[in-house]
Amino acid sequence: MSKEKILTDANFQTEALQSPLPILVDFWAEWCGPCRMLGPVIEKIAAANAGRIIVGKMNVDENPNTPQKYGIQGIPTVIFFKNGEVVKQLVGYQAQDKIQKAIDELFPK
């Protein structure tokens, strides 16, 4: 069972921006090779950080408004939000340790 929250244009405001915990959002698409490579990494990040941060995924093809609002040019893009604000953005495939390092720096235990 996947721990990621599926985000849409319709639920982004309530599920991501109003989240009580910091949230990492993976913007991806089905046809994107690097996105498919990042998928298992995001799952591991979600499992490793359960209760500390929320991990969400948004399909940019099905939900064009939110990626446009945040100026997403390339995918995969991972954006970290805290209190509804963007605190960091990573573009392209990222190794698990790099994403974990960003989480540890942004949201210390």
Here the tokens at position 11 are 């639920």
Instruction: Decide if 36 is catalytic.
Output: no
Instruction: Decide if 35 is catalytic.
Output: yes
Q: List 91's β-bridge partners, or say none.
A: 77
User: Rounded to 10 degrees, what is the CA torsion of 87, 27, 84, 99?
Assistant: -40
Distance in angstroms (rounded) separating the CA atoms of residues 9 and 66:
6
Distance in angstroms (rounded) separating the CA atoms of residues 33 and 54:
24
Q: Which of 16, 24, 25, 35 is catalytic?
A: 35
In a 3-state reduction of DSSP, which class is residue 89?
Answer: strand
Q: Which of 19, 22, 32, 36 is catalytic?
A: 32
**Catalytic residue positions?**
32, 35
